[in-house]
Chain A
């Protein structure tokens, strides 16, 4: 951050700098596939896409709960499905040594995937 360009600030300038540095140095959100690590690079991509779909399903489920459009049976099935899906994702993340942070692609000017 070019400090000469700051013309107004309020709150904690330290916290602001910290966040701006995260953006400047944050490149963990990119797929870094090389011939040596292509398997984990690909796994990261696939799991990121599955995670995106899982999150969308979760959002949709919350909308349906809010809309009160689910029966008792449907809510039990939905909860079980989402729970199993999340557990399965945790298993896969462990297998490929990935964390939640890894499953977030930076799409440059479009921002983060998730």
Chain B
């Protein structure tokens, strides 16, 4: 038997509506979701009678869907995919050992939502966009590279590429600062993910109070006005996956 844990919530407020939501959702997705309480915490989980052998993408999507659905009714601490224990005793032990850390994290994210902000270069001429934004496009070739030898010609080509890369990095840094100027008016909770392809300028997540959503959209619209040449997308609200990081005991 395995108990798959989806999320932790602080019990007390909205208990009946959460229970109702979970019951309804359980029927929809044909997974029997259960709740157990431990002091101020509640854990949402399901019981798998058969041994969980292998995870697949469909399971992962379903897991995320469940967390997303519950997060619409209350603040929750999302558990990482694959969080499972083998008995009720283990589940209580988990809650007991990590009680303070769990509760502290829930307080930190209470009433807040996560949004993802991605800014990407458009496929149009990126070099022109960067040059127009940064100005001063002339390449200053160092004297040491003046000459016609193969070595110097080779290094000159490398130097040109290097200069383009440096200007690209400068542009990214400038845009990142403008982004932070806008977002820090709303929150200090901003994390940058490592950009995964060269088209990415910013891949960030922010955690804001629910009522600040419109302000976030205004801020990003200001960014769009400053850098109209890029592609921008905001998604959310997401459960606060990127702002809870607990080393489970």
Is the CB of A66 closer than 8 A to any CB of chain B? yes
Q: List B contacts of A12 (CB < 8 A).
A: 122-123, 231
Is the CB of A98 closer than 8 A to any CB of chain B? no
A103 to B230, CA, bound (A): 29
Is the CB of A34 closer than 8 A to any CB of chain B? no
State which of A65, A66, A70, A79 has its C-beta within 8 Å of the C-beta of B149: A79
With A9-B232, A19-B199 known as contacts, the answer to whether A110 contacts B194 (CB < 8 A) is yes
| Of A10, A26, A62, most B-chain CB atoms within 10 Å | A10
With A9-B234, A61-B155 known as contacts, the answer to whether A112 contacts B142 (CB < 8 A) is no
Q: List A contacts of B197 (CB < 8 A).
A: 19, 22-23, 26
State how many residues of chain B have any CB contact under 8 Å with chain A: 39
What range describes how many residues of A lie at the interface? 35 or more
State which of B115, B150, B195, B217 has its C-beta within 8 Å of the C-beta of A111: B195
Q: List B contacts of A19 (CB < 8 A).
A: 120, 197, 199-200
Supply 27 A–B pairs (Cβ within 8 Å), ascending by A. A1-B235, A8-B217, A8-B221, A8-B233, A8-B234, A9-B232, A12-B123, A15-B199, A16-B120, A16-B233, A19-B199, A22-B197, A61-B155, A62-B158, A65-B144, A65-B159, A66-B142, A68-B143, A72-B144, A75-B152, A76-B149, A76-B151, A77-B151, A79-B155, A82-B154, A83-B154, A111-B196
Interface of B with A (CB < 8 Å)? 115, 118, 120, 122-123, 142-145, 149-152, 154-155, 158-159, 162, 194-197, 199-200, 213, 217, 220-221, 224, 228-236, 238
